[in-house]
Every structure is written in structure tokens, then in C-alpha cells.
Amino acid sequence: MKRSMRWFSGLVSLILLPMAGCAGTGEVVPLDLRAIPPVVGQEVQQGESATFLVMPFEDQRPQKNPVGLRTHFWGGVTYFDVPGGKPGDVLPHVLAEYLKQKGWQAEVGQTGKAGASDVTLTGQVQEFTAHAKSRFGSTVITVALKVALQARNAADRSTTKMTLEGTRMQTVFWFEPQDVQDLVAATLTEGLTKLMADAKVEGRSLRLK
């Protein structure tokens, strides 16, 4: 009887261990934001053309910590962060790539160096988090993003203010770090799509519709 109970307890442990996840070791898992795939079936922008220069964003997050962390069921944490630990340097590349996918010319500039373009985009990262909380049988992933953007139009020296933002939550049974990467990508893609749906190029300037 005791042998059967020990066998049963061992079997239960083997089942529960992968469900809850191992204890965290404090490692940092990189989030490759520049690996976000193109949106399937998205339309190329029609109408007037314009060139965009996207400058590095200011990091105005209250805490300059890694982008997120996972708290493990058995204790400990795993961190998530962008390469270099600076979202303000990475997010402009995501925005520039999205603009190019839409059919415009876009490139990322360098701080302190002005470039010749129709529209210069600057921004402030106010929020960017990607957290995962493992509990018995599941892991809840939450992503939040908010970037204040300013488009300076060279044609008439006007400024258009916009916000790139989005929030998402997902619960998974079997957790993999890729789940966080995928949810961040989905949040960014949704936010970028909405951002440009509310804007238009007119007279080689970016304006709100």
C-alpha cells in the first residue's frame, strides 16, 4: 500500500511539474521586436508619397527596469527585455519597418544628427511591459504599450501628435517564452495598424484624418 502511495505521489509530481513550471533562475530572455512578421493581407498605402525619419525615442518609463518578468509557481523569476535594455532604441526600428511595409520610404536616424526627410518622427516611451504570472495549471501573460509620438512636417513646419498604444492579455496552459514574444508582436502590430489608420499623408505631410 505504501509503495502504491509513493508511486502515485511521484506520478502526480511528474504531472504537476511541467504544468506549474520550474523555479525561476533570474535569467534574462531577449525579446526580438525587429522579428515581428508582416501583417498577412495588409494593404500597401495608396496616395501621396513621403519620406520618414524615425528618431530614437526618449525612455520616460517610471522604472527603467527590464521590460517584464515571469513569476514562477515554484518561486523565482525570469526577466524579459529588449537587446541592449533600451526600448527607445529598438521601437523606432519597428515603426520604420512598418512604414516601409506600407509602401513609404523610412529609416531610423541618430540622436543629434538631422536628416533630410518630409516627416521626422520623435517619441517618448511612457509604458512598455510584458509580464507573465504562472499559477497552478496556467500562465497569464499581459502586455501594455504606450508611446507618445510627434510628427514634424518639413513642408509647413507643423506638428502632428499621435499615440502608439495597446494592451493584451492571454492565458496559456503550457508556457513557452515564445508566448511572450508573440503577444508583444500582436500588441505592436495592432497598435501600429490603428495608428496609421487614423493618419494620412497630405502634401508630403503626416496628418490626422
Q: Between 21 and 139, name the one with better pLDDT.
A: 139
Average pLDDT of span 119-143: 95
Average pLDDT of span 47-73: 90
| DSSP, res 37 | P
The pLDDT-based confidence of 110 (bands split at 50, 70, 90) is confident
Contacts of 22 (CB under 8 A, 6+ apart): 72, 74
Q: Provide the 3-class DSSP secondary structure of residue 12.
A: helix
pLDDT at 36 over 80: no
Q: Provide the 3-class DSSP secondary structure of residue 200.
A: strand
| DSSP, res 47 | S
Cβ pair 89, 111 in contact under 8 A: no
* E-assigned strand segments in 28-135: 28-30, 51-54, 58-59, 68-71, 77-81, 105-108, 119-135
List the domain boundaries for the chain. 2-38+45-208
Say which CATH topology domain 2-38+45-208 has: Rossmann fold (3.40.50)
Average pLDDT of span 38-65: 80
Phi and psi at residue 113, in whole multiples of 5°? -120, 115
The tens digit of pLDDT for each residue in 163-209 reads 999 999 999 999 999 999 999 999 999 999 999 999 999 999 999 98
Q: Provide the 3-class DSSP secondary structure of residue 59.
A: strand
pLDDT at 16 over 50: no
Percent of the chain with pLDDT over 90: 64
Least confident span in 14-23, 60-69, 108-117: 14-23
- The pLDDT of residue 71 is 86
Count CA within 13 A, CB hemisphere, residue 86: 8
The tens digit of pLDDT for each residue in 136-145 reads 889 999 999 9
Whole-model pTM above 0.75? yes
Q: Between 158 and 3, name the one with better pLDDT.
A: 158
Least confident span in 6-15, 28-37, 140-149: 6-15
The tens digit of pLDDT for each residue in 153-169 reads 999 999 999 999 999 99
Average pLDDT of span 52-66: 95
- The pLDDT of residue 100 is 92
